[in-house]
Chains A and B, each alone.
Chain A
Amino acid sequence: MSADPHRLRLLLLQNAPLLLFLVLLGTFALLSERFLTPGNFVNIMAQAAHIAIIAIGMTFVLLVAGIDLSVGANMYASCIVVALYMKGMHPLAGFAVAGGLGLLFGAVNAFLVVVLRVPAFIATLATLFIGRAWALYLSGVKMVPFGKELLLLGRSSWLGVPVAIWIFLLVFAIAWTVLNQTTFGRQVYAVGADPEAAKKAGIAVPRVLFAVYCICGLCAGIGGLVSATQVAAAASTFGFQKEFPVIAAAVLGGTSLFGGRGGVVGTVFGAVLIQTVENGLVMTNADPYVYPLIISAIIFIAVLVDSQRTGMLERLERRKIRPEPG
């Protein structure tokens, strides 16, 4: 078996993001001595928290071979309400509201995609614009400061670890449990692998699909507010184009755009990788205009790896009509 060149190439493709990560770590470490320090690592994790949270939600959608381009708009729309109307209230209430609005936003996407059967990328592209416009209307296209409570929360830490990281860990733990330890979670994988077979196996496919878009919306709301605790105010560009690093994180983490493969552990790795790159670029004083180029190049590589791997797996799994010797 080891002689099979397909399997070998597959192995290489599976581990490409890890190799990329190591190469980047090495490069940045060489270019800046501040890069490989524990302090900087905590820093990276805290900065990566909101992307990781939203990407965890995105993972659910990608697992059923869907996509949600509206997460950035969703996080703005959900958080602007908290910034405008929830000043002086407990941060927990803020999270409840942001999460609830995010969920609602996700439900709209779910309705368009699952019930009206609009292709996911066009439906969520449209809600991206509509959602952002609604939020801009609410904010009057002005910068809206978040309440002091949120900022205090953002600055506080517990056991030496910033709160953002704790929230991220909580979301991660819940998402991991849902995906791996509930019937629903396993059905998400089944639907993503083969919706027809899933229907035959008695799975309520539309319900699963609807739920994943709602979950993605929920995570966008919560992730947005985590980001809010780290910035003083919601500018009109809050969450702008966040869908890119989010999708990148999930796909880099090994979640396939074609559905059925991946998981939240990989996604977290991907989010950290993306943030590491940004952090490394800052540390090495790279031209900020180069960031988007590098991020998009990384997404490109991740998607390329994904589609090559998918094609290869399909070839390996092709139905045979006679037993192969050996």
Chain B
Amino acid sequence: MTAPAIELKGISKAFGPVQANKDISISVQPGTIHGIIGENGAGKSTLMSILYGFYKADRGEIWINGNKTEIPDSQAAIAAGIGMVFQHFKLVENFTVLENVILGAEDGGLLRPSLAKARKALKALAAEYELNVDPDARIDEIGVGMQQRVEILKALYRQADILILDEPTGVLTPSEADQLFRILDRLRSEGKTILLITHKMREIMEYTDTVSVMRRGQMTATVKTKDSSPEELAELMVGRKVLLRVDKVPAQPGAPILEIEGLRVVDDAGVERVKGIDLTVRAGEILGIAGVAGNGQSELMEVLGGMTVGTGSVRLHGNPLPLSGLGADGRSRRAAHIGHVPEDRQSEGLIMDFHAWENVAFGYHRSPEYQKGLLMDNAAVRADTEAKMAKFDVRPPDPWLAAKNFSGGNQQKIVVAREIERNPDLLLIGQPTRGVDIGAIEFIHKQIVALRDQGKAILLVSVELEEILSLSDRVAVMFDGQIMGERPADQTDEKALGLMMAGVAGEAA
């Protein structure tokens, strides 16, 4: 038997008080695709970054091809034949593909010969692995799928035998993802070893030979994929049976609350992100918007939340909502009884350095009940915070703690409490459970359903299909700034939605 391509022994890593990896051991056979699956924050990326020398492990050993190897930096990882494609690409945007490929792997001090050599090598690689990329295109002029190819080419140009891919399909359409897996298959057949990090069950089941499951910084199991089942892996991943469907009674949709017609959003770079969509959300229903990240959902939420400008017609209770100019801001939206849980709580929903109580006032800081004459009534805000913390079981229930010092789930509870407790007529909620632990997910889902049952309208955006399917009453799919189709949630499934997410328009159901 050949030595494992990679063997990790007892790897541990802590970031301050957070133990990201605890005593992890794993062995990966050469010429296989080895999946690593786990929830957000399970420590997958940290482990791979250690293997790539991006972080240094506190303890543990790395063995490559049967040799104990020190990997203090990425240089050493590259020398050991390891290449990595990060979730967020590490490319220089105003460089060409060629320049990005040779960066750090140049031949000698002058650029010209290095570029010429790389151009030849790239041609050969393109032929061998079907990795066609224009070597003279600038990175900021090509799409994400292409950028990912450049990352793979970078690794291959450095003669990597082991390729790590961190959540490679997060930004890809299903068809782009299929292409990627064809390339990976080709690489495997050439004897390369591939480590695939993902939280998507489908990818694990379809493409991997072996799978390791991580939970809360620990490796809970490594099994042959064909000997396992999604249910078994899911249980290993979360530690108990997953609640696939949220308990809820059928919706009782009432009058339309939000009516969108021909809505368009153009971003700062002049690219049209939302291309004339029509949607209606009724009282007492949850409309879920599915789609691969980056297909206009964020911009849709932003324009409805008053964070960006758009054109078209949006009516709330039949009254037009300004999409630009006066009244097109978050404050006016709140005044119109629109609650908004933004997609990114760390950079938008919360001010991480503010105390919890300041964050409870955040966005509502000009509300009359928080004012006392010219000044703010901080005592009133703090009392309100304590009440909300108790009701939403925020831990620790300390109004004076800075937002950054709460866990992800508790941070999200603060945001959700602030927006839901105002009793909005319409709730915009984006990625409600991203980076949130299972317990908090259930709690937040229940709150959303409870708000619906009070007869409020809810517009939900999530890239987690499972969340969309279990929470929504109706599902609309966005692709390339357009609505590809709408389905009642109980009359569709992941496969049908997946097709629409890839841009295949759905026929009437």
To the question of whether A and B form a pair in one complex, the answer is no
